[in-house]
């Protein structure tokens, strides 16, 4: 017979409310706004001149081929699509592609790669501290906390100046101890758009080597800044000089397959044997978290990369996305000297010199939605919305 106890255990009903991820909350606000001319520059997806996020033509074609030829959906294993990782290897690693101390694995998006990479680092060295730029992508700190590693902030960007705080960044990294981790954005910095130039990358590399830090490069927008090779400069420079390194990569943007969750994790250790052992941990951790990554998106990207004609057309579509980003940047930059810095930055995001009140005013009076920090997606708006957007931003800056 069942008996009830009066002792009160903590349960699901005791959970405190979650502080909503502000970018996710913003999506809800945009959807709830009935004004037909609303502008959503909050969400981080590429939009074309008509304001749509179309499926790339090469992906549509690859999906059709996948549909026609796939004969089973049996498990692939924790490594996912191995050919996908093999094809990605030279695109990301360049001249380091033949280095057998580097191994890569398919992950559920860049987020999956970040989590897996930090889990691995925490397993290897729970005392390691992670140096994180201020500001950074808002999902970095919770992922780092979730694996139990502690964070140290390094100054990265001065909003008023539209400039990188390079000296302060270097000073902060100099306080790192051997084994500490330096989290760096490979290109198209989110949220600021302010990328290290080549000389600055070399300065960061020097301090990373000098202090024995482990570089962890998050590269989610390769091809959206200057070009595939140019955007991988920092990744490859660190590989030139570091024996241990982690790279979290996302294909969700450059193949425009956001919801299909396509990414990869890359690790480098001092020897092929140590890399093989570390990869054993990677597969075990992946097995505990998601068992194996979703197949469809990576299989589609693999079909594109494996076919010279589709690959060539992907490069054309990728260049088209990059060109739009850079041409919208130029248009906004030309509208007011205070916005000129936007023309010198890269990728989908920049931060406007606006206070929280000014951002809220843009929402209420102009139906323009961006993060409270002033971060906005330069290609969140259609071509027809750019003039209204810049006029409203100038009005807000003057208010």
Ligand X SMILES: Cc1ncc(COP(=O)(O)O)c(C=O)c1O
Positions marked catalytic = 137, 218, 220, 253
* Min CB(218)–ligand X separation in Å: 5
* Shortest Å, Cβ 361 to ligand X: 26
Q: Which is nearer to ligand X, 137 or 314 (CB)?
A: 137
Confirm if 389 and 376 have CB atoms less than 8 A apart.
Answer: no
Count of beta carbons in the 10 Å neighbourhood of residue 331: 17
3-state class of 8 per DSSP?
coil
| Residue nearer to ligand X on the CB measure, 260 or 390 | 260
Q: How far apart are the C-alpha atoms of 196 and 157, rounded to whole Å?
A: 11
Please identify, using beta-carbon distances, which residue of 274 and 292 lies nearer to ligand X: 292
Count of Cβ atoms closer than 10 Å to residue 11 Cβ = 7
Helix axes of 109-124 and 272-289: crossing angle, nearest 10 degrees: 120
* CB neighbours of residue 218 within 10 Å: 24
CB of 333 to ligand X, least distance (A): 22
Token reading at 91: 């695109």
The site for ligand X (CB under 6 A) is made up of 44, 109-111, 137, 185, 190, 218, 220, 250, 252, 258, 263
Residue in this structure with the two tokens 């890399």, named with its chain if needed: 275
Smaller CB separation from ligand X, 223 or 396: 223
Q: What is each CA distance from 276 to 79, 103, 218, 269, 315, in whole angstroms? A: 13, 8, 22, 9, 33
CA distance 46 to 49: 10
**Least Cβ distance, residue 312 to ligand X (angstroms):** 24
Q: How many CB atoms lie within 10 A of CB 372?
A: 15
My answer on whether omega of the bond before 376 falls inside 30° of 0, hence cis, is no
The smaller minimum CB distance to ligand X, of residues 258 and 376, is found at: 258
């Amino acid at each position: 017979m069942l008996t009830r106890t009066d002792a009160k255990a903590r349960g699901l009903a005791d959970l405190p409310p979650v502080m909503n991820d502000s970018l996710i909350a913003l999506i809800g606000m945009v959807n709830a706004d009935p004004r037909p001319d609303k502008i959503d520059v909050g969400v981080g997806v590429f939009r074309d001149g008509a304001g749509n996020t179309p499926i790339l033509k090469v992906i549509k074609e690859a999906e059709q081929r996948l549909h026609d030829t796939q004969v089973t959906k049996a498990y692939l294993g924790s490594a996912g699509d191995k050919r996908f990782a093999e094809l990605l290897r030279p695109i990301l690693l360049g001249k380091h592609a033949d280095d057998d101390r580097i191994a890569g694995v398919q992950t559920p998006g860049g987020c999956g790669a970040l989590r897996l990479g930090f889990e691995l680092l925490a397993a290897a060295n729970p005392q390691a501290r992670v140096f994180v730029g201020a500001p950074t992508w808002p999902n970095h700190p919770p992922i780092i906390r979730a694996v139990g590693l502690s964070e140290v902030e390094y100054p990265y960007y001065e909003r008023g100046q539209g400039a990188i705080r390079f000296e302060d960044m270097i000073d902060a990294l100099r306080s790192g101890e051997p084994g500490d981790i330096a989290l760096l954005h490979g290109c198209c910095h989110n949220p600021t758009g302010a990328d290290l130039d080549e000389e600055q990358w070399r300065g960061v590399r020097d301090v990373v080597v000098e202090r024995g830090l482990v570089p962890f490069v998050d590269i989610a927008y390769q091809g959206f800044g200057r070009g595939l090779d140019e955007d991988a400069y920092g990744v490859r420079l660190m590989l030139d000089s570091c024996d241990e390194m982690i790279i979290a990569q996302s294909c969700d943007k450059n193949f425009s397959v956001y919801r299909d969750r396509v990414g990869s994790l890359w690790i480098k250790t001092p020897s092929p044997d140590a890399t093989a052992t570390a990869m054993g941990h990677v597969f075990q951790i992946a097995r505990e978290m998601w068992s194996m990554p979703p197949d469809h998106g990576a299989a589609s990207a693999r079909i594109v990369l494996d076919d010279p004609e589709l690959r060539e057309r992907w490069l054309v579509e990728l260049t088209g996305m990059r060109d739009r980003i850079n041409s919208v940047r130029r248009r906004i930059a030309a509208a007011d000297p205070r916005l000129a810095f936007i023309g010198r930055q890269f990728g989908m995001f920049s931060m406007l010199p606006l206070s929280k009140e000014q951002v809220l005013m843009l929402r209420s009076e102009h139906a323009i939605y961006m993060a409270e920090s002033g971060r906005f997606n330069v290609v969140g708006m259609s071509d027809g919305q750019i003039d209204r957007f810049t006029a409203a931003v100038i009005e807000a800056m003057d208010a």
